[in-house]
Amino acid sequence: MTGRILLIECADRKGLIHAVTGVLLGHGLNIVANDEFVDGENGRFFMRTEAEGKADTGRIEGEIRSHLPEGAIVRFSPTTKRRLVLLVSKDYHCLGDLLLRHAHGDLHATIEAVVGNHAALEALAGRFGVPFHVISHEGKSREEHEAEVLDAIRPYDPEFLVLAKYMRILSPGFVANFPSRMINIHHSFLPAFVGPSPYRQAAQRGVKLIGATAHFVTEALDEGPIIAQDVIPVDHTYSVEDLAKAGRDVEKVVLAKALKLLLEDRVFLCGRRTIVLS
């Protein structure tokens, strides 16, 4: 074991850092980076540790767990690359950006497949040799369509599902298949402009900044915990189309940033919000 990441989440109490670092030290591991956070309101302790050295991760997890409050989550990140499936509609910019990073070894994950409810991006996935499944929603009930999408996804057994400008609302039933394992890029600075056509809303409201928000997908639309956000300045000369075009650059960068944080195991869920440890 070299350069492993240890993740801990439990009820807060005195002595947690000392206990955890004691176990790591006992196994001869050297801590090279460490970040903790205590959420005072909920009394929760979060810790992310990068340690160097060779050791038996299962045994270490068990030892640490024995020092922590009941119900503690203690786990080492896998050393294998995570498997991703991407869901898309017609917008190319987020998919293209992720395929580029993937093809050049910058993603720390494998894009196993892309599922689209349109065929518009099939050629793009093809350029990078990534399987693409067209599953049109036309003439189907939401349940039927989602069942087909699930069938297409299942063989790839993805750890994370990435909605890379997937423009359909997913049912709570679908979402329940990927608890804390599905992220979305929303084309606005949430919680402003929840729902569809945010750029039209933004133009009518005359905002001077537009943004993008990457968040976990939960049952409540556009209400999942936020992972990353950014904005860019705009002005009265921007048409709805101009806003949408300008927004694309923010969207793709924010989605890639959120995915990077997720794949580096920096993102913890804490109620309606995220804790992002450095």
Q: What is the dihedral of CA 183, 187, 191, 194, to 10 degrees?
A: -100
Q: Does residue 116 touch a second copy according to CB under 8 A? A: no
Which residue number, 82 or 215, has a Cβ lying nearer to a second copy?
Answer: 215
Cis peptide bond N-terminal to 191, omega within 30: yes
Q: Does residue 209 touch a second copy according to CB under 8 A? A: yes
Output the CA angle 132-93-262, nearest 5 degrees. Answer: 80
Q: Does residue 10 touch a second copy according to CB under 8 A? A: no
Query: Rounded distance, CA 253 to CA 232, Å?
Result: 12
Whether residue 222 lies in the annotated active site: yes
Which residue number, 63 or 97, has a Cβ lying nearer to a second copy?
Answer: 97
Output the CA angle 207-210-212, nearest 5 degrees. Answer: 150
- Annotated catalytic residue, options 222, 230, 249, 265: 222
Q: Does residue 236 touch a second copy according to CB under 8 A? A: yes
Per CB under 8 A, which region of 3-11, 150-158, 161-169, 226-234 contacts a second copy? 226-234
Radius of gyration of the chain from Cα atoms? 21
The token duo for 194 is 């929840």
Backbone torsions φ then ψ of 168, nearest 5 degrees: -115, 145
Per CB under 8 A, which region of 29-37, 62-70, 130-138, 151-159 contacts a second copy? 29-37
- Binding residues for a second copy, rule: CB under 8 A, are 14-15, 17-18, 21-22, 24-25, 28, 30-40, 92-93, 96-97, 100, 103-104, 106, 124, 127-128, 189-193, 201, 203-209, 211, 225-231, 233, 235-237, 245, 249, 253, 256-257, 270-276, 278
Active site residues: 222
